[in-house]
Structure 1
């Protein structure tokens, strides 16, 4: 265990706001997501204890990785740690409430990026995969990580649990881009729509997709029958944030998730599973979105938040 060190508190006067950091990157996608080594291929075999993942409770793309690791029973094989939910222009940081970096003793996530590429000028993002053997960050492409952790560690995961079964991979791989475009990114299309025309189109696309899923879940317990797959994990992380932040803050306010009986029951059923519930820190999600995004989108005008009881009983029929 390295020496316990923490970043200093958020200080926008000294360091600037997080928005200033993103605005300074000329080519966000190309520079930020430049790390793409794949686990299970070449020099990076699936080995117990070798990889550590830097995560954030707030980020839905990071939570997918946590759910996969815990649902597959890989908690003793792949380690992970969390960063503080708030950030200034230094980016994600390790502070007391979420704990220190247990691998390197870094105080900022940027330290891991610079330790790997000293010329890194992007925005440090999560999930970020650290390889203990080579002492470098090897992948921060979120679609790579969910596929790698869903397949490469089959020899270590709980017997009989498979979220990416061979016989369904083609169908799952067809649905995942649809979920990403229509749901995961669809809420952000709404949030950052700068014209009425773009907003109206984003609303129509998002709610058409939700209606499609509502109908699908009237016929199936999960997206692919009675088994939880990678597709369910990718959908759930957006549903979990929908009524709390996307509905009031991102202007996805035609209907709430609780207005879709099948989607709402489905989301709560998944939440009852320990792997889904474990990383669901709604307090951090609320704090971060309403600190960072409310300022960017509404300049501090914050609408009332619904208080949701995720543990309440629901009437959704569990199809056998």
Structure 2
């Protein structure tokens, strides 16, 4: 499988107020990678928040960039988190919209640097961190971007296939697109342990969170036949389970929170596939906790 040959896929990320400041490599950028200046605010029940939590752990940034964990379900009317309201109001004049997560904030100014998860993770990768391993290894950026596009395609196809009101022809086309993308990833992971450069990278974080969402959220709106076909991609789910058993991944799994967030936002109808969970995520998380105690 050639990952890099894939065409870009339009982003399916949330529609929200976007702050896209970037952390540069020196003081001329305005924001530069210095320990103890920045703070992450996220909910691990949210896919973007889960990606950032995993990446943050892999980089070993607990001391240099602390994390504030937010509730699974936003606590403000109309969405958003009350704890983030002061940051939004300080960052946008007369701001009245929802105070959404994730957020990377600047403790020096009390303002938001960015709300764009992929930019944030790339910038965190510039921080000095334990072990020195990069999530975005030099020369592999285009490959990682292609995996991001594939993950967006999975999300978009699964949403379309499970959406109430989707016609049979449109649903069939969405499922074809879903199985095609899963099949290409399956082929890659049948031959390799990781997606890029034979090592753990941001591409693996992206795909792992996408598989969590596919099983814990989108599965609930697909018929049993579709779920069985998804589960038949054995290499993908062995890979997902293997990563879930690593502390940097598994300890951030908030399965109850994901379910609560899903039911709080979802307007689709539950389908037969809801009863056929693909992976025992709770068991994997328990294995992680046991391993961390030893």
Q: Which residue matches 1:96?
A: none
Question: SS of 1:226's equivalent?
Answer: coil
Q: TM-score w.r.t. structure 1 length?
A: 0.74
What runs of 5+ residues in structure 2 fail to find an aligned partner? 1-13, 285-294
Q: Is the 8 A contact 1:53 1:81 kept in 2?
A: yes
Q: Is the 8 A contact 1:190 1:252 kept in 2?
A: no
Q: Is the 8 A contact 1:33 1:141 kept in 2?
A: no
Q: Which residue matches 2:79?
A: 91
Decide whether aligned partners of structure 1 residues 208 and 252 sit closer, same or farther in structure 2, where only a CA change above 3 A counts: farther
Decide whether aligned partners of structure 1 residues 307 and 300 sit closer, same or farther in structure 2, where only a CA change above 3 A counts: closer
What runs of 5+ residues in structure 1 fail to find an aligned partner? 1-27, 94-106, 313-320
Matched, 1:36 2:24: no
Q: Which residue matches 1:306?
A: 277
- For 2:78 and 2:271, the matched residues in 1 are separated by 22
Which is richer in helix?
Answer: 2
CA shift digits 1:201-220 (9 cap, x unpaired): 22111111111111111111
Q: Is the 8 A contact 1:193 1:199 kept in 2?
A: no
- For 1:145 and 1:33, the matched residues in 2 are separated by 15
Q: TM-score w.r.t. structure 2 length?
A: 0.80
Q: Which residue matches 1:69?
A: 56
- For 1:147 and 1:112, the matched residues in 2 are separated by 22
Q: What does 1:269-280 align with in structure 2 at a 5 Å threshold? A: 269-280=242-253
Question: SS of 1:167's equivalent?
Answer: coil
Q: Which residue matches 1:52?
A: 39
CA shift digits 1:107-147 (9 cap, x unpaired): 44333212321333443322111100111012101221122
* Pairs aligned (count): 264
Superposition RMSD on alpha carbons, in Å? 2.7
Partner residue of 2:255 out of 259, 278, 282: 282
* Divergent runs of 4+, >6 A: 299-302
